[in-house]
Amino acid sequence: MKVLVVGGGGREHALCASLARREDVDHLFAAPGNAGMAEMATLIPISAGDVEGLVEFAERESIDLTVVGPEAPLVAGLADEMTLRGLPVFGPTSDAARLEGSKAWAKDLCRRHGIPTAGSEEFEAFDAAMAYVEQLEPPIVVKVDGLAAGKGVTVAEDHHQAEQALRGALVNKVFGEAGLKVLVEEYLTGMEVSALALTDGMTVRPLALAQDFKRAMDGNRGQNTGGMGAFSPLPFVGGDIEARITVDILEAVGRALRDEGVEFRGVLFAGVMLTDAGPRVLEFNCRFGDPETQVILPRLTSDLAGALRACTNGTLADHELTWTPQACVGVVVASAGYPGPVQAGRPIAGLASAAEVDGVQVFHSGTSVRDGQVVTSGGRVLTVTALGSDQEEARARAYEACSRIRFDGITYRRDIARVTGGVRIEGTA
């Protein structure tokens, strides 16, 4: 089987690593890929946003399965174009990708079908939004409607912060078209988890639950980021709660999409808050999470390639997903300044030594090769993951590996998965 993975981050590296373990995947391509993916895949110099270039490559190479990592090419219609040309693609059409591409649309879908979620109001005018916000008690959650690379959510601690968020989106247009509409959402308190599932449009197969850490600094302080670490499984989530997430949220949204004539084949990803009233949806994504994928896939013992291919042809009911009981902890190694501007091109040392730690895999995110040397090329540089017999062993291994990696400006959180039983994260995805 020839497989093309679209993207160049840690999520795509983890996908490549899992796919490469299968004997029936005889040729693996990555577009554009990164320095780590080059060890197991042929890198193709086509950007993830070049829809026509990717489709032409898949046609020319007779690709048997294209797996789309990032959300932007899905919203731009990559799956639509590949489907039109008879190319098997794992990922929803642009119509179905509205589940992530428009928070307002997703929220309305939840309301229409009784899927438990936080209450919210939508606004396109700054004055109207401010008039509403001034009636609320902080914290106040402000979300831009469209895709904002993980930067479009503000949990305002006071009315001034809420005003800044609204002014930035609706007046200063800092998010462009993505911020022309905003949601002011109910603030939920509880434990936040990431719930992912594969679907072929009929069958929904949940993946192992994970929890990620979004704040830049220890103690869940600092700015929101794309994610600074994650772990799986979640020992504090019982089987009854997990079943409710599957039935009331993942299967329910799959059924809601189907009832409205929206064919969704790909990953359903719900950010879920475990509140005293039960699980509540914070938001949906239509792709694998990053860094959640880096701690979920190392625990998968069944055939990923077969399951993804089954999603493209409607046979997922024939595939069961199985998991190792081992724990997996992932720590994101970043460049100083992230999530703001960072300096690229800094040589990375110690990668081979880190990979020698038992159970460790180092997934590349923001890396490239310059004159034979792996160098930094982005804010999130690596995700260092480790399997262990339990969460503490996996965590110790991951941090031992992190200590062996060196580059100018290296930074990472020291408290990923430190608290057995989960970390209380208040706010929203």
pLDDT averaged over consecutive 10-residue blocks of the chain (429 residues)? 98 98 93 96 97 98 97 92 97 93 96 96 98 96 91 92 97 96 96 97 98 93 92 94 97 97 96 96 95 98 97 97 98 97 97 98 97 96 98 98 99 86 37
Query: What's the pTM value of the predicted model, to 2 decimals?
Result: 0.94
Q: Report yes or no: 144 and 152 within 8 Å, Cβ to Cβ.
A: yes
| Nearest-angstrom CA–CA distance, 266 and 253 | 13
pLDDT at 151: 79
pLDDT at 286: 94
- CA-based radius of gyration for the chain: 20
Q: How many Cα atoms sit within 13 Å of 130 on the Cβ side?
A: 14
DSSP letter assigned to residue 300 = B
Phi, psi of 116, deg, nearest 5: -65, 125
For residue 254, which of 284, 209, 212, 291 has the smallest C-alpha distance? 284
| Nearest-angstrom CA–CA distance, 426 and 47 | 36
pLDDT at 22: 87
Q: Report yes or no: 300 and 255 within 8 Å, Cβ to Cβ.
A: no
| Nearest-angstrom CA–CA distance, 108 and 106 | 5
Retrieve residue 34's tokens.
Answer: 């990164």
pLDDT at 224: 84
Instruction: Spell out the residues 6+ positions from residue 24 whose beta carbon is closer than 8 angstroms to its own.
Output: 1, 305, 306
Strands (DSSP E) contained in 34-131 are 42-43, 65-68, 89-90, 120-123
| Nearest-angstrom CA–CA distance, 89 and 81 | 10
pLDDT at 75: 87
Retrieve residue 146's tokens.
Answer: 């469209």
Instruction: Spell out the residues 6+ positions from residue 261 whose beta carbon is closer than 8 angstroms to its own.
Output: none
Q: How far apart are the first and last CA of the chain?
A: 36
pLDDT at 419: 56
Phi, psi of 103, deg, nearest 5: -65, -35
Structural domains in the chain, CATH included, are: 2-91 (3.40.50.20), 119-185 (3.30.1490.20), 191-318 (3.30.470.20), 327-411 (3.90.600.10)
How many degrees, rounded to 5, is the angle at CA 326 between CA 324 and CA 332? Answer: 115
Task: Give Cα separations from 75 to 49, 79, 121 (angstroms).
Answer: 10, 9, 24
Specify the DSSP element, H or E, that contains 108: helix 103-113
pLDDT at 354: 99
**Torsion of the alpha carbons at 346, 359, 332 and 327, rounded to the nearest 10:** 180
Q: Report yes or no: 335 and 378 within 8 Å, Cβ to Cβ.
A: yes
| Nearest-angstrom CA–CA distance, 264 and 311 | 9
Q: Which amino acid is at 155?
A: V
Instruction: Spell out the residues 6+ positions from residue 103 whose beta carbon is closer than 8 angstroms to its own.
Output: 143, 144, 145, 146, 183, 283
